[in-house]
Structure 1
Amino acid sequence: MSPSISSPLPLATYRLQLHRSFTFAQAADILPYLNALGITDCYLSPVNRAMPGSEHGYDVINHAVLNPELGTEEDFSRFVDALRSQGLNLVIDTVPNHMGIGKTLNGWWRDVLENGPGSRYAAAFDIDWHPTKRELENKVLLPILGDQYGAVLERQDIHVAYDEGAFLLRYGDHELPLAPKTWVSLLSHQLDKLTREGEQDMPVMELRSIVTALKNLPAPDVRDPELIEERGREKEVIKKRLAALLGDNPLVRAFVMDNLRLFNGERDRADSFDLLDSLLNEQAYRLASWRVASEEINYRRFFDINELAAIRVEDEAVFQEAHQLLLRLIRQGIARGCRIDHVDGLYDPERYLRQLRDLTQQGGGDPGASPFYIIVEKILGRDESLPETWPIQGTTGYEFLNDVNGLFVAADHKRLFTEIYARVVGHDDTYADLVYAGKQLIMQVSMSSELNVLGHQLNVLSERDRRSRDFTLNSLTHAIREIIACFPVYRTYITDGPEPVSDRDRAYIHMAVARAKRRNPAIDGQVFDFIRSLLLKQGDARTPEDREEQMRFVMKFQQTTSPVTAKGVEDTVYYRYHRLISLNEVGGDPDRFGLSVDEFHRRMRDRQTRWPHGLSASSTHDTKRSEDVRARINVLSELPQEWKTRIGRWSRLNRSHRREIDGERLPDRNDEYLLYQTLIGAWPLEPLTDEAYRNFCDRIQRYMHKAVHEAKIHSSWINPSPTYDQALHDFIHTVLDRVPANRFLEDFLPFQERVARYGLYNSIAQVLLKVTAPGIPDVYQGAELWNFHLVDPDNRGPVDYVARAAALEELRVTIDRAGPDRAAFVRSLFEQPEDGRVKLLALMLGLDQRRRHPELFQQGDYLPLECGGSKKQHLCAFARVRDRQAVMTVVPRLVATLAPDEKRLPVGTSIWEDSWVTVPPWPTLGEYRHVLTGEIFTAESVNGRRVLPLSQVFGHCPVALLERLS
């Protein structure tokens, strides 16, 4: 095993998803395994306190403390000690964009609900306290009710309760605070009656005194910090007094409890709920059905998730509060880096990142040490570049993932696959049109509130200029929708300072407006021009106030385009467009059918120049399919004619299993097409027991259920169709029934097995590309062995680390002892790949190279290598070169058309014939050691080139990692 080394930057990261079933203690147990694998940095999901039961940690409710479900401070300290003992570092996932607010467990949010705009945390959340709906003035809309407000109220589902000196509102598992000043109505109702019963009674006098104290509390809308502090202090005093009074005096307690009974009303007596209704109307929130959220919600959310409220880290106080734990970990020398979740949701991403960079530099430690490692979760559009002014090391690697994936798609078959897909589904909608429609749908059904806000902002701006005042609210709102629907990237990065709009952002805005105009020839183009001028900071601002209002619109617009695109494309179109689903990946472009080797080299050289330390991901907790599922499905792109034949046959065999309702067969052909590709990609390698097969079928059912609901065509989360859902469930159940007469499975399984075999070569090739290309390889938990998981929650299940550690140790021992038999051993792993050890071996030995040559991989040049011969189109090869060091990566691609017999390894002269790969241009021919097999090859001189014959390089092993010896 290579020893752990200290490196200024990560050499390889391993992503762990922590939750109550996988805690700090369990993570500590696997660190020796990660070290043995070659990992240098443990990369954790968020560790801040999150909603109870959170499986992901992104619903943070307290940024200052560790999540108790992950363990205690002592557990975390032991985890850190274990990291240090293994020579490992820590990268932490950070969530600056939003917080969890479900069940009102978030202290900041609870304070806002209690005190409204006068809350000390009112500025922490992005709340519109003066929305267009007047009833919401100085209120937060809470869309948590399962039915209309009146119906819920009169069913007594909402009721007031008393708890330790305070009154609160209970609805299901929600507990909402009641503003202290409104307790007056609860305590003074019928108070005269109690007074007559005991005029001189000291407890009654104390109750009256408490009521007076409540009335004298500073009003909820005060903004003076001193008054806010006074209100909080006095409220606590009152709570103690009330708790003491009700605890000591049965008469007063009975009086208060009777008032609660009256306020909570009686079933079948509508007027008995007037008191409670009046009390609720006094609060700083308005309860509503969850169905009104899309149109009327007045706090910014994470995408369209009501339980995740956006926070305003652009406010310095909020920024500091939101990074308390991270700063502590930096000061203690525990964290070496962080991932920034959803950077596009921030008000001004670059300004935020500069603040964060400054914060990390103030965190302590050696001033001469390497900069804190910062990566951002950022999805780049086609040909979009990450802003080079951002003070970070790169992204989490979605663009790398999709570039590598594209290498294994047969680009020449794009037209054939487009025709096959159109024939199957019965229409030929373009991908661009689907994206446009998907974004329009999201703006209509999920985020119409955000669009209404933008429309009203724009209307106010237009009214201030006589040249634009005739634009109607409707036309302005419609134009905004059209521009966002046509926006070519997730967002622009215009700032509210004096900086001019960048050429990049200017081009995207012009493109979006031009596309919107073309799609709307009947609408006056001046409306679009007016909006474009504002977005380009060219609006006619006659006063500083005008300029401020214009910039507020621009910044809000930028924060809106990103979630609309994410929900409209990733979470809608990716579940509607199924031409080749391995391309429907986060950060991908399903319209780009494959990537040439030359284009791959160009992108990697650019990556080496611009972002050499960004993560190189292949699977993440957010990917739609694991790397191994995509690798299999890519094989289909090589077999268009056979795929066409199979699809036609399977459709005929399963036609009777589709249910006919109102003249329509369910499920539709598009969902059926998705199912077949999913089965190709996810089918387990190993033979399945009855129980294992049932589990697999259940996974497919759950995935397809999610897929059709995300697609929002026949069913959805908001408006589910039990009829369609049941028809889909029954279809899958029948199609996968392992009965002897299932002709579909008889035909499907041999084809799937053949595709799966080819997919394994794609998977191993991906491993070597990830480990050796520019960037820092990232391994998602469990993906070091075969991993055929689908989108979350399927990809967040438990990982058997005991089996992985044992397999790794066995491989180490066997490789060390194999000697001249090493090549034969490696070949045997490829010939019997079911247990995944061949993938583990490639990763282990590749990471060994990174630890042995850190400077080579962190600073070395990227050199594309020329390939020649009859099979050159099936090769991708490059070298990493620094001084006299070199490591060459040579991998096959499009193996299904290279080696038609899937049962034979694609190795030797019979496959590679006269093909060759050049070596880096040193004066001597040089010797190269095959890192996997141990073989040593000497370069040959052929027609003035120094080359290695592929029949030798791929003599035993169908992938190659070659280390220069001399």
Structure 2
Amino acid sequence: MSPPRSLARLQFHAGFTLDDAVGVVDYYARLGVSHLYASPILRARAGSTHGYDVVDCHQVNPEIGGEDALRRLVAALRERGMGLIVDIVPNHMGIGPENAWWTDVLRHGRESRYAQYFDIDWQSPDPLLRGRLLLPVLGAGYDATLREEHLHLVRRRGEWALRLYDDHLPLSPASVRDLGDDAEARHDPSTEEGRARLHELIERQHYRLAFWKLASDMVNYRRFFDVNELAGLRIERHVVFEDTHATVFRLYAEGLIDGVRCDHVDGLADPRGYCRRLRHRLERLRTRRPPGAPRDAAYLVVEKILAEDEPLRTDWRVDGTTGYEFMDQVSAVLHDEAGEGVLTGLWRDVTGDAADFATQAVRARRQILVDSFESELDRTARALFVAARADVASRDVSLAGIRRVLVELLVHFPVYRTYAGGMGRDAFDEAIFSRAVEGALRTVRGEDADLLHLVAGWLGGEPLRALPPGPARRARARAIAVFQQATSPVAAKAVEDTAGYRYGRLLSRNEVGVDAARLALSTDAFHARCAERASTFPHTLLTTATHDHKRGEDLRARLAVLSEMAGRWTAAVDRWRERHAPFRQRAEGRLAPSAADELMLYQMLVGAWPLDLTPTDEEGLERFASRVAAWQRKALREAKRWTRWTSPNEPYEDACEDFLRAMLSGEAATELYAFAQYLAAPGAANGLAQTVLRLTTPGVPDLYQGSDDWDFSLVDPDNRRPVDFTRRSASLAQDRPLADAVVTWRDGSVKQGVIRALLCLRKTHPELFARGDYRPLAAVGPASGRVLAFVREHRGRKLLVAVGRHLAPWLAGEAAPTVPAARWAGTTLELPEGEWRAVLAGGRLDGGRVDVARVFDGLTVGVWVSG
């Protein structure tokens, strides 16, 4: 059972528990899935809908059923020969009263046994924070919070505590040692004297309370991105690694899980060291697994965003990534490069902004550093300053100078992070730094140019082992780690969560792990990436939908069609903008929505329009409007132009929602509906091509919950809505031939049928998919550019895959995603010798020159096996 043949991702929470999953095991088994793939299962904060805010690493979350339910789920899986992969969160924990480790740190400060578990800077330059922890948990300023009596000294469970709103904070033993029975009255915040005593008591704690908005400027613990409620762990310390992974290791040793997906590996101080240690520990536990549990190597993948041409290091000893790079590649190969110029021109003409995506990303990075990461920037600068002061040769360098050049390096940093260690940077990281320095030299002060080169050298350009042991080496090592941990959250917030919501040339290319500057990918480039994957990470995960995606996989596939009909789209947008001008309102001194926000809204409306929604369905239109309105409000705040999470501009947001709702009524709704229908069939063909490529190219396919049907979901929480498994199971039971299912394609059964056919094929021929080589197959003839094909082979067994692409000229406005054979006339494929059997349709083929129409056999995708 290792590596997995395929994974099916499920999101667990109180509304969908491990016992609920027992009820869908049979469905996934019939579909052909080999492993379920669980969101984090350790105890998270109460009410968590995602599980990434773990508060207790030693307990399976009772809200999702606890360990007893986990055992019931695994028993059901084993009965069907299936396994379980779980998501783990080594980078951070949820903090607050539910986290006993965090509470102990608040009570005992640096003397807590858990003080070194969390990545806390106890040496703050702020004298009020030195040796204390900043808690940015107040809804207003400290003085106002105190005067408004939101802070009280209370007796709780036999101990003195500080009540803040509805939570309780621990008090240090020394501060409460002399409190008497009248302490509550003496510390009553409703009186001047009581308030003064309460303030004095609070000042004696190991933490300092602060307004939540001060976190970005002052917080002295490493956060997950800019989320105050998630604190970074020092997982590089042996005791922290073992304690946080104890339950995961036990579950693996007991045969309850078969592998792990490591969340946000780039947040760790030493990702390579962590992954190798994790692999080593799992390997040692293999022999302890009970009969009935697979003894093969544990499956191990990491969540990692790879830039174009960035390699995943082979010495990490992982099976691969969670597949964002594949999501990028398969999307790009379905886009038409010919539409790039027209779409770019439309965006510039409508918005008046000539900045490309790269420029938008640089602007966003600069803003994000100021808005969200001042404390992280300060921490990194101080780490470098300490390193500089530790060396006589650089003792005259100023903290302010280091901070200036550090800003420019971070602004121009082209990847999520580098991985410099004791030997310095490898060749790839050196090239990355050269690009960052080149960009920074264009914007840094002239007198700081030498310092820029010096700082770049300190950050891994010079091997640490070249320095003599001592303070200088230790300080430099710490500076490198802090810098490398800072670059990935800055990149994620700037690129994914800011620039991606500002630049809207074509939103199908604004996705996690995607460079929106690149619209399309050639078939040759796609083949090259598949072949490389087969030789380096043949078992990496392949995904097209996740719990983090911005747009569902079939929504992106439909929007890709606009790259083929850019002229028609431009004409429609021009017409709509003129016709809908009366719907715009003036809010806070500006028209709402802005031109950019309006253009992106049009894309989302035609891209996400449900297949069964008509303009006369008032209830359906209201549901759709509510979903898109939630996306729109989030998108506006993430863009951080006219509104943002920290200071919402509700008049602007409300005016934008009014505009949206006007679009979904009357003539406007009818025209949007008509355009969405025009895109529907070629969009579905793209969706089927994407599905087939995920299930047949080198790697392990990941099926995100619900995406076995058409997936037109929006950004979270929309992409985490409940899945109707009853309907899916009934559809699967019908076992309709794909030739029939494609006629009623809007019900999703054709996509489900393709998935089942290919997952069952993977089950029948596991070695072919796990170890088969990859060879491109070039079509010849007038429609050759509309075919992507390849052959995989292992020990005489062969797989032929062909998918149609750029089919909008043939399918736009058609009733179904089917292409008449005449369209393919004169276009052929040269098949390897042998007899070929159809997987998706009936019939057989002999090797040699074959008409593409016969390969597709009425569909827009074709899969055949031989041998």
**Fold-level match, TM-score > 0.5?**
yes
1:129 counterpart residue number: 122
Match of 2:12 among 6, 9, 18: 18
2:691 counterpart residue number: 767
- Whether the 8 Å contact between 1:98 and 1:308 is mirrored in structure 2 is yes
Shift of 1:661: 4.4
2:619 counterpart residue number: 691
1:226 counterpart residue number: none
2:278 counterpart residue number: 356
Find the aligned partners of 1:901 and 1:333 in 2 and give their Cα distance.
Answer: 52
Q: Does 1:276 align with 2:198?
A: yes
Alignment of 1:367-378 (within 5 A): 369-378=295-304
Find the aligned partners of 2:246 and 2:221 in 1 and give their Cα distance.
Answer: 24
Shift of 1:854: 0.4
The letter of the residue matching 2:167 is H
1:947 counterpart residue number: 849
2:845 counterpart residue number: 937
TM-score in terms of structure 2 length: 0.97
Alignment of 1:85-104 (within 5 A): 85-102=79-96, 104=97
Q: Does 1:757 align with 2:681?
A: yes
> CA deviation digits over 1:431-485, x for unaligned, max 9?
1111111111111111100111222232333345565444332221011011011
Match of 2:540 among 595, 609, 614: 614
Find the aligned partners of 1:20 and 1:662 in 2 and give their Cα distance.
Answer: 41
Q: Does 1:868 align with 2:780?
A: yes
Q: Does 1:603 align with 2:529?
A: yes
1:518 counterpart residue number: 442
> CA deviation digits over 1:268-313, x for unaligned, max 9?
x444311000000000000000011001100001111000000111
2:99 counterpart residue number: 106
2:797 counterpart residue number: 885
Residues 83 and 909 of structure 1: is their aligned pair in 2 closer, same or farther, counting only changes over 3 Å?
closer
Shift of 1:952: 2.0
- Whether the 8 Å contact between 2:91 and 2:264 is mirrored in structure 1 is yes
Q: Secondary structure at the match of 1:751?
A: helix
Shift of 1:74: 2.3
- Whether the 8 Å contact between 1:509 and 1:535 is mirrored in structure 2 is no
Alignment of 1:453-852 (within 5 A): 453-465=379-391, 468-495=394-421, 497=422, 499-520=423-444, 522-538=446-462, 541=467, 544-661=470-587, 664-687=590-613, 689-737=617-665, 742-811=666-735, 814-815=736-737, 826-852=738-764
Find the aligned partners of 1:391 and 1:680 in 2 and give their Cα distance.
Answer: 43
Find the aligned partners of 2:820 and 2:658 in 1 and give their Cα distance.
Answer: 48
> CA deviation digits over 1:547-574, x for unaligned, max 9?
1111111110000001110111111111
Shift of 1:602: 0.3
Q: Secondary structure at the match of 2:135?
A: strand
Find the aligned partners of 2:767 and 2:234 in 1 and give their Cα distance.
Answer: 40
Find the aligned partners of 1:372 and 1:799 in 2 and give their Cα distance.
Answer: 29
> CA deviation digits over 1:183-235, x for unaligned, max 9?
13422xxxxxxxxxxxxxxxxxxxxxxxxxxxxxxxxxxxxxxxxxxxxxxxx
The letter of the residue matching 1:29 is G
- Whether the 8 Å contact between 2:2 and 2:298 is mirrored in structure 1 is no
The letter of the residue matching 2:217 is E
> CA deviation digits over 1:392-426, x for unaligned, max 9?
10000000111001111001221221111101111
Q: Secondary structure at the match of 2:301?
A: strand
2:862 counterpart residue number: 960
Find the aligned partners of 1:326 and 1:176 in 2 and give their Cα distance.
Answer: 29
Shift of 1:371: 1.6
Greater displacement, 827-836 / 109-118: 827-836
Find the aligned partners of 1:904 and 1:459 in 2 and give their Cα distance.
Answer: 64
Find the aligned partners of 1:475 and 1:65 in 2 and give their Cα distance.
Answer: 47
The letter of the residue matching 2:116 is A
Greater displacement, 466-475 / 426-435: 466-475
Find the aligned partners of 2:424 and 2:367 in 1 and give their Cα distance.
Answer: 33
Alignment of 1:230-245 (within 5 A): none
Find the aligned partners of 2:469 and 2:312 in 1 and give their Cα distance.
Answer: 34
Residues 469 and 8 of structure 1: is their aligned pair in 2 closer, same or farther, counting only changes over 3 Å?
closer
- Whether the 8 Å contact between 2:609 and 2:673 is mirrored in structure 1 is no
Find the aligned partners of 1:692 and 1:904 in 2 and give their Cα distance.
Answer: 23
Q: Secondary structure at the match of 2:101?
A: helix
Q: Secondary structure at the match of 1:867?
A: coil
Find the aligned partners of 2:710 and 2:473 in 1 and give their Cα distance.
Answer: 56
- Whether the 8 Å contact between 2:583 and 2:662 is mirrored in structure 1 is yes
Q: Secondary structure at the match of 2:860?
A: coil
Q: Secondary structure at the match of 1:868?
A: coil
Alignment of 1:191-270 (within 5 A): 256=181, 258-266=182-190, 269-270=191-192
> CA deviation digits over 1:634-685, x for unaligned, max 9?
0001011101100001111111111124763111011111111111111110
Find the aligned partners of 2:755 and 2:102 in 1 and give their Cα distance.
Answer: 45
Q: How many residues align?
A: 859
> CA deviation digits over 1:730-757, x for unaligned, max 9?
11122212xxxx3322322111111122
Residues 490 and 522 of structure 1: is their aligned pair in 2 closer, same or farther, counting only changes over 3 Å?
same
- Aligned-pair identity in percent equals 38
Alignment of 1:398-477 (within 5 A): 398-465=324-391, 468-477=394-403
1:854 counterpart residue number: 766
1:820 counterpart residue number: none
Residues 424 and 805 of structure 1: is their aligned pair in 2 closer, same or farther, counting only changes over 3 Å?
same
Residues 112 and 795 of structure 1: is their aligned pair in 2 closer, same or farther, counting only changes over 3 Å?
same
1:205 counterpart residue number: none
Alignment of 1:1-400 (within 5 A): 7-102=1-96, 104-187=97-180, 256=181, 258-266=182-190, 269-365=191-287, 369-400=295-326
The letter of the residue matching 1:703 is W
TM-score in terms of structure 1 length: 0.87
Residues 776 and 62 of structure 1: is their aligned pair in 2 closer, same or farther, counting only changes over 3 Å?
same
Find the aligned partners of 1:657 and 1:107 in 2 and give their Cα distance.
Answer: 53
Find the aligned partners of 1:668 and 1:467 in 2 and give their Cα distance.
Answer: 53
Residues 961 and 366 of structure 1: is their aligned pair in 2 closer, same or farther, counting only changes over 3 Å?
farther
- Whether the 8 Å contact between 1:11 and 1:777 is mirrored in structure 2 is yes
Q: Secondary structure at the match of 1:169?
A: strand
Unaligned runs of 5+ in 2: none
Shift of 1:543: 5.7
- Whether the 8 Å contact between 2:57 and 2:247 is mirrored in structure 1 is yes
The letter of the residue matching 2:836 is Y
Find the aligned partners of 1:949 and 1:416 in 2 and give their Cα distance.
Answer: 34
Shift of 1:882: 1.3
Shift of 1:523: 4.1
Find the aligned partners of 1:451 and 1:665 in 2 and give their Cα distance.
Answer: 35
Match of 1:896 among 798, 804, 808: 808
> CA deviation digits over 1:574-623, x for unaligned, max 9?
11111111011111110111110000000000000001000110101011
Match of 1:907 among 797, 819, 822: 819
Q: Secondary structure at the match of 1:492?
A: coil
